[in-house]
Amino acid sequence: MSDPELSALRARAAYGDNDAIGELIELAAEREDFDELRRLADGGSKDAEDQLVELATEKEDFEELRRLASAGNTDAAEVLAELAE
């Protein structure tokens, strides 16, 4: 995806286009782009937050899992508890 296309997709997402948000989440997950997923999650996307937990788990990014858990994400907290056992 070109930079102008990505910018257009982000603009659509910023206006609440759920299809654009879904596309951005998918692209960010494929690229392992934690920053994009965080931005989308901070904007209120539960799907982006779920993807962050999944990606952080796959990458064994305990710092990200702790950040998510401390922000109230119960899935991240559960993953951390399982890994601590």
Render pLDDT for 31-45 as a digit per residue (tens, 0 to 9): 999 999 999 999 999
| 27 within 8 A of 1, measured Cβ to Cβ | yes
State how far the Cα of 74 lies from the Cα of 27, in Å rounded to an integer. 25
pTM of the entire predicted model:
0.87
Render pLDDT for 50-79 as a digit per residue (tens, 0 to 9): 999 999 999 999 999 999 999 999 999 999
Residue 3: predicted pLDDT: 86
Report how far Cα 66 is from the mean position of its chain's Cα atoms: 14
Using alpha carbons, select from 70, 71, 33 the residue that is nearest to residue 52.
Answer: 33
| 26 within 8 A of 51, measured Cβ to Cβ | no
Render pLDDT for 6-22 as a digit per residue (tens, 0 to 9): 999 999 999 989 999 99
